[in-house]
Structure formats: C-alpha cells, structure tokens
Structure 1
Amino acid sequence: MTSHPAPRAHPDIALTLAQLLAIRLWARQGPKARVQVAQQGRLGRMPGLTFRELRAYQAGDEVRHIDWRVTARLGRPYTRLYSEEQDQAHWLLLDLSPAMYFGSRCQLKARLGCELAAALLWQGEKQANTLICHGVECHVHPQRGPLVPLLEALCHHYDKGLDRTPLPRSLAQTLARLTLPHGARLTIITDHQPCDAALCQQLQLFGRRHDIHCWQIRDPLEADLPDQGRLAVQAGRQRGWLDATQPGFAHRYQRAAERLARQSHQQLLPLVQRLYRLDNGQPLQRQWQEGACRQF
C-alpha cells in the first residue's frame, strides 16, 4: 500500500518556520524600489520618512518640505521636518479568511500572504512590529526584537486557517477593534476582491491618521481561464462548469474579472498610500527581486 502525505504536508500547502526564516536571505537585499509600486494612492508624506514636527523655515531646509497651507495662513514660510522611517511603528494586518485559502497552480493565496508578511517583517526587522492575523479569531502579536515569535505565529494561524472555519467577524470589524499609536504605518495583505462599504469606511478613518499600504493577491484563475478544458465549480449547492472551449464564454469571464479589478482599484486608490498586487501563480522571491508586481 502506498502512503500519501497528509494534505497539510503537501509541498504546495505546507508552511514551516524554516521557510519563513530562509526568506531573510533575500528579503533584505537591494532597495525597496525592487518591489514596484503598482499604484500610488492618496498624497501623503515622503516615502521612507515619517513626520516629526513643523517649524519656521530656515536656510538649508528642503524647499519641497515647505507646508504651503501653513505658510499662507501665517504669512511666513514653515517647513515640515521628518525622521527616518526605521523608527516608525509598523502594524501588519494579514487576512487569513477562507477566501485566501485558494490556489489554482503552485500555492494557496494564504501561504503567499504569509511569505509576504515574513518578507516585510524581515525588511523592517529593527522597527516595532505588530502582527494582526485576521482568521478564526483576531490575534495581535506586538514584538520589538527577534522576529521568530511573529514567524511562529504566522505558521500557527496559517495552519488553523486550513480548516476554513467561517469567521466570527469581518475584516472591517477587525480593523475597528485596532488602536494604532500616532504615526504608525498600517500594511494590509488581503484578497483582490472589491471592498464592501464597511471596509471602505474603516480605511477612510485610518487614512486620516496613518499611512496605509495595501497588498492584494490574485490567483491566475481569478484573472483568466486556461486556454482549453473544463473546470468543475460549486457555489453553495449549485454546481456547474467553467468551459473555456465554449465560444465567447472565456472572453466574458475575462471581461468580468477585469471589471472587478477596476472596481477594486477605484475603491482603494483614494484610501491608501500605496497599492500593490501579487500574482499567486509566481513565487514571491521572483516577484520581490525582479519587481514583478503588476498594476491593476
């Protein structure tokens, strides 16, 4: 009798601490610019800097940092002073809802999301990092120092999410329960689907006080059908087929996917500082090092 590995141990599904530790070898190499910004959202402070104070302009100050509104109101030039972002608190919210446990090729979106979370944590290793896992329950893990406890938490919550248990609360409700310190940056890793009204409202509220970076993960099958073949699908009790051989169906499928992507893009751009997208059909290391993140 041939023994088969448990589904959780399958190489396309399993997520181990060793995998997340190995990400350090390449996550900190090269400038952040290697990961291309898919789109820049609302205007805010200079990337890589965080606002410190406002004072009267002095010779030698950066002209681009002059606050023109305050200057016009007070009748003399004032400049905004910034400090390096390495001291900025970083809150990372990872969506491990059932929708993230899908993948048509080499991995689940949830696993790619965990690897991305680990890469971002390694990149900002010296920051005060707080990890929030939106899964079966909402778990908040603050950490300043060694990242191993956060990486262990990623593995644990990812494994729990494989059960695809219905969530007790929405992503908007999880956001509403968070209290970020002044000046903290919020990074969200989630699905690519359009946001509901409650989530848009929460992002708008957070965007008044914090920079928001949003990473969306989309699977190739959610963008386009294979060139040929039929795929069985089920929605609730209804079953059917995605038939790429049917004339016109693949084209309609692609147009519907593009419409959803545009809708998500239009919703988020006014609400976030940076908007990225990852392809679930490609390894994270390749996208990170080659700047392969595509824009919507």
Structure 2
Amino acid sequence: MSPSHTNATRVALDELIALGALAHGASLMKSRRSPALRAGGNTSRWRGRGVDFRESRIYQAGDEIRHMDWRVTARSGKPHTKLFEEEREQGLLLAMDLNPGMRFGTRVRFKSVQAARAAALLAWMASAGGDRVGALGFGGGINGEVKPAGGRRGVLHVLRALRDWDTAADAVAQEPLSRALSRLRRLLLPGMRLVLLTDGFSTDAETEKLLPQLAGRHDIAVVLLRDALELAPPPPGRYALHLGATRRILDFGDARVRGAWTERFTTSRERLIALCKKLGVRVIELDGHADLRRAIAPLLARSRISTVVA
C-alpha cells in the first residue's frame, strides 16, 4: 500500500525549499478575533500595562484597579480605566505530528510527507508577510523545537528540522496531543498564531482541556491529514500491513473487521473536529494527493471557517 512516487515516503529538503515559489505573492492573513485579542499589524489592545497609552473607557468588572483613570473618573463621575497599546510578537508556530500513524498513505504520498509540504508552504507564506516562523515536533520519539526567526534563514531552519525529524522519527513511539499542547503553551507568545498538522489520532481526553486554553489566547488552525483508506475499507480480501518490523494480515472479507477499521479512524478524527468546531478553530482536511496551494488557500481568508475539505 506504499506509494511509489518520488519523495512519497520521506521528506525531501529540496522539495520543501522549492515550495517557496508557490508562496510568491501570498501571505497568511490574521483572522479577526475578539477586541481584546485582535492582532492588527504590530500592536494590539490589551487590558494591562503596555508601551503607550491608548484611551480610557468605562470600568468593567475584572479591570485592574491600578489602571484606573482617576482624572477622567473625577471629571465624568463614572469609573474609567486606561487601555494601553502593547507590542506583541508577530509569528507563526507550526506543530508537526510525527506519530507512527502519520507515516502512511495510499494516494501519491504519506501523510507525514504531505504534512511537511503543507508546513513548508505555510512557513514561506508567513515569512512573505513579515512573520517570524518556528516549529515544534512531537511523537515518534521526537521532542524538537525551532525558535521563531524571521526571513529566509528562519524558514530554512524550520525546513531542515522537518526533514531531520522525519528521518529520526521512531516507527512505534507514540505521544498524545495533550503533551504537545503543554509544550506549546510555553512557546506561544502573545500574538503568535499556531497551525497544528496532525491526523488527529493522537487526540486524548486531556486535549479537550488544554486546547480551549490555547484557543482562548491565540489564533489556531488545524491541518487534518487523512488518507482514502482511512475513510473507507478496501475491497474484500486479505491484506498485509506493516508497522515498523511488525507485519499483520487483515481479512477485509470479514464484515466485523471492515466496520472496526472505519470506526477506529473516524472516532479519533471526529473527536478533534468536534472540539475545534466548538472552539471556532479553523480545520482544513488535507489528502495526500490534494493540490497544496489550493488546499491552503482558506488560510489566506480573513473570515473564520469551521471545516474545509481539500
């Protein structure tokens, strides 16, 4: 079931670099969030001490007393608080799932390779918009990080890491998504955006607690990798599947095997999709044979979209 296409099973650095040509004239837009979290240019309005005074407004429950504007309060007879304009970090953080399930594909290339290609294109697009780019790798025994950096050099650091992580990833070592989210909380600075590239199979119960915390503070998108064989079982027959050194024979002539096969993949994926919809997190479902530039196009739009299939 392995693809035979060039660079179908392994991430190739030259291909990731060449994707820079697809990003020409494109850059990632910052989607509109609530006023307290809206990112526009280099600055954003926060309730708290920042660089420059912005304005005063009516006091709201939860505002800090130390930010009270006593002069306006005395003049108007109504409590007012000060708002400051605070410099925020512009950047994109790419979280790459390297768990064993990603090293699979029946249409053109493995999910792991398509995910790396998507991450590379996003990195080039973010850089074209003046953003710094960083990356985090998890699963497959990988515990890697690339600190956000700007320009072509910053993108190349990310691309090399994607290639190296793919080469070093273990065929059996699993890591839950929640552990990666815990690491991301430390790396994500105010104003940074997060794109998670995963097939969703690493989603666990703790993810449902941690993802809302990140979504409440950052613009998040999920690129959900999938393969046709995960959406529907193959024709009836006996098939050999390989996972590392392990080889198994599955009889898809058995209705129970066919039903369990589809249910296993659907349950994990739908769990993450449902959580993202609840949080307003954009989800793009990406096949291994999809046109990458067209598939990533929704991330160029300003409006938030729940789910896009490519």
Does the pair score TM above 0.5?
yes
- Contact preservation (8 Å) 1:203, 1:272: no
Give the letter for the 1:137 counterpart.
I
Please point out which of 83, 90, 93 is paired with 1:91. Answer: 93
Residues 213, 274 of structure 1: 8 Å contact kept: yes
Instruction: Name the residue aligned to 1:144.
Output: 150
The residue identity in structure 1 corresponding to 2:173 is P
- Counterpart in the other structure of 1:130: 134
Residue 221 (structure 1) shift: 0.6
Q: CA deviation at 1:12?
A: 1.6
Corresponding residue number in structure 2 for 1:186: 194
Give the secondary-structure state (helix, strand or coil) at the position aligned to 1:23: helix
1:88 aligned partner, one-letter code: Q
**What is the alpha-carbon distance in structure 2 between the residues aligned to residue 98 and residue 153 of structure 1?**
18
Query: Which residue of 102, 108, 111 corresponds with 1:109?
Result: 111
The alpha-carbon deviation at position 8 of structure 1 amounts to 12
1:257 to partner: Cα distance:
5.1
Q: Which blocks of at least 5 consecutive residues in structure 2 are unaligned?
A: 48-56, 64-72, 300-306
Please tell me whether the aligned partners of residues 233 and 242 of structure 1 are also in contact (alpha carbons under 8 angstroms): no
Q: Distance in 2 between matches of 1:166 and 1:255?
A: 23
Matched, 1:284 2:292: yes
- 1:228 shift after superposition: 5.7
CA contact (8 A) 1:91 1:185 kept: yes
Gaps of 5+ in 1: 1-6, 34-39, 56-66
Relative distance call for 1:256 and 1:190 in structure 2 (3 A) is closer
Is 1:224–1:257's contact at 8 Å kept on the other side of the alignment? no
Q: Contact 2:120 / 2:159 at 8 angstroms: preserved in 1?
A: yes
For the 8 Å contact 2:103–2:111, the answer to whether it is kept is yes
Secondary structure at the aligned position of 2:146 is classed as: strand
CA RMSD of aligned residues (A): 4.4
Match of 1:174 among 170, 173, 180: 180
Note the 1:27-106 alignment, pairs <5 A.
27-29=23-25, 44=34, 49=40, 52-53=44-45, 88-106=90-108
Q: Which amino acid aligns with 2:222?
A: C
- TM (normalized to structure 2)? 0.67
Q: What is the CA–CA distance in structure 2 between the aligned matches of 1:264 and 1:8, rounded to whole Å?
A: 31
Q: Identity over the aligned pairs, expressed in percent? A: 22
Paired amino acid for 2:150: R
- 1:123 and 1:251 mapped to 2: Cα distance? 41
Deviations 1:79-123 (A, max 9, x none): x9999x9x6222211111212111123211111111111011000
Task: Give the aligned residue type for 2:133.
Answer: N
Change (3 A) 1:272 1:114: farther
Shift in Å at residue 240 of structure 1?
4.5
- The amino acid of 1:188's aligned partner reads L
- 1:111-157 CA-to-partner distances (Å, cap 9, x unmatched) read 11111110110001121211111142311112222222221111111
Alpha-carbon contact 2:177-2:204 (below 8 Å) kept: no
Question: Corresponding residue for 1:58?
Answer: none
Supply the AA of the counterpart residue of 2:283.
Answer: L
2:203 touches 2:268 (CA, 8 Å); kept in 1?
no
SS at match of 2:212: helix
User: SS of the counterpart of 1:129?
Assistant: strand
Distance in 2 (CA, whole Å) between partners of 1:250 and 1:286 is: 32
Q: Which residue identity lines up with residue 175 of structure 1 in the other structure?
A: L
CA contact (8 A) 2:176 2:202 kept: no
Counterpart of 1:159 in structure 2 is: 167
Partner of residue 211 from structure 1, selected from 219, 222, 242: 219
